[in-house]
Amino acid sequence: MTGIVEWYKDLMYNRCAPKTQDWFLVSEIGPLLIILVSYVYFSISAGPRYMKDKKPYELRNLMILHNFTQVLFSSYLVYEGLMSGWLYDYSYYCQPVDYSDNPQAIRMARAVHLYYMCKLIELLDTVFFVLRKKNRQISTLHVYHHTLMPICAWIGCKFLPNGHGTLLGLINCFIHIIMYTYYMLSSIGPQMNKYLWWKKYLTTLQLIQFCIIFVHSAQLLFNGCNYPIFITFLLMLNAAIFIYMFGSFYVQNYIKNEKRKADERNMAMRNNALNNKAE
């Protein structure tokens, strides 16, 4: 037990990025785990039970503000990610972590920390679903995604606040600009539905995102890059799990559902034709 405690202390205090050690919600993982356990408990148990005998809350204005804020944050993070390295200086082949006082490295670290904060703010997506009694939208994929991403962001901020792995955040923020724009428009009201035909392409973008991250991370196993192998495996595993889960979601909700709807339309047309012929 003493060895485990010493290993934990060494990991938390000696192997972390010194510049981010004292930043908000970074030094220890305990507060983050409390937030996430509370989030999962509220999402799948306490929240639905609380809302069972209540009318759904009307949160339109709050949701519009939340989604608009996320679009602004995501846009800013895309800009910072590009300006801090990925547009000019970073290598897509191998980009080690820079723990120095280099202003560019510090700038990327601050962007990673803001990304971490955004992952926590995004937990409100599920809270809104619960309060509006949209329990169908609280899927396993949804809860898993919103629980795991803050942990990944904390690991990045604590140990790897710049370098190769930050491409995940850059791509994720770009997709979130599109995704939260969609959410913002849909929260305005049903009159916007005719402009939201592109919903299924959001899932396609999510799949493309994790395919890119898987390949981008996998090359580190072969090119001798000075980047932690354990983190590389975590990035690949995370990407593979999300590819499977988003792929299953896409097949179930778009391919199979569209086939079922097409079969129902064909059946209805055949029934109408038979009825007309009988008359």
Helix H, strand E, coil C: the string for the chain is: CHHHHHHHHHHHHCCCCCCCCCCCCCCCCHHHHHHHHHHHHHHHHHHHHHHCCCCCCCCHHHHHHHHHHHHHHHHHHHHHHHHHHHCCCCCCCCCCCCCCCCHHHHHHHHHHHHHHHHHHHCCHHHHHHHHCCCHHHCCHHHHHHHHHHHHHHHHHHHHCCCCCCHHHHHHHHHHHHHHHHHHHHHHHCHHHHHHCCCHHHHHHHHHHHHHHHHHHHHHHHCCCCCCCHHHHHHHHHHHHHHHHHHHHHHHHHHHHHHHHHHHHHHHHHHHHHHHHHHC
- pLDDT, residue 202, reads 87
Q: How many CB atoms lie within 10 A of CB 140?
A: 11
Flag whether pLDDT at 55 surpasses 60. yes
- pLDDT, residue 175, reads 95
Q: Could you confirm whether 142 is annotated as catalytic?
A: no
Flag whether pLDDT at 265 surpasses 70. no
pTM (predicted TM-score): 0.88
pLDDT (mean) for 168-193: 91
Query: What percent of the chain has pLDDT above 90?
Result: 64
The residue to which tokens 């202390």 are assigned: 9
Flag whether pLDDT at 93 surpasses 60. yes
Q: Determine which one of 66, 113, 142, 145 is catalytic.
A: 145
Alpha-carbon distances of 152 from 5, 87, 119, 253, 272, rounded to whole Å: 22, 23, 10, 27, 55
Residue 219 pLDDT level (bands cut at 50, 70, 90): very high
**Residues 264, 266, 269, CA angle at the centre, nearest 5°?**
110
Flag whether pLDDT at 184 surpasses 80. yes
C-alpha 140/C-alpha 224 separation (Å) is 37
Amino acid identity at 258: E
Q: Which residue has the higher pLDDT, 224 or 266?
A: 224
- pLDDT, residue 273, reads 54
pLDDT (mean) for 55-59: 91
pLDDT (mean) for 97-108: 94
- pLDDT, residue 276, reads 57
Most confident residue range from 55-59, 68-72, 201-205, 240-244: 68-72
Residue 39 pLDDT level (bands cut at 50, 70, 90): very high
- pLDDT, residue 56, reads 92
Pair 200, 184: CB distance under 8 Å:
no
C-alpha 50/C-alpha 28 separation (Å) is 31
Q: Which residue has the higher pLDDT, 1 or 72?
A: 72
Query: For the chain, how many residues are written?
Result: 279
**CA 212 to the chain's CA centroid:** 15
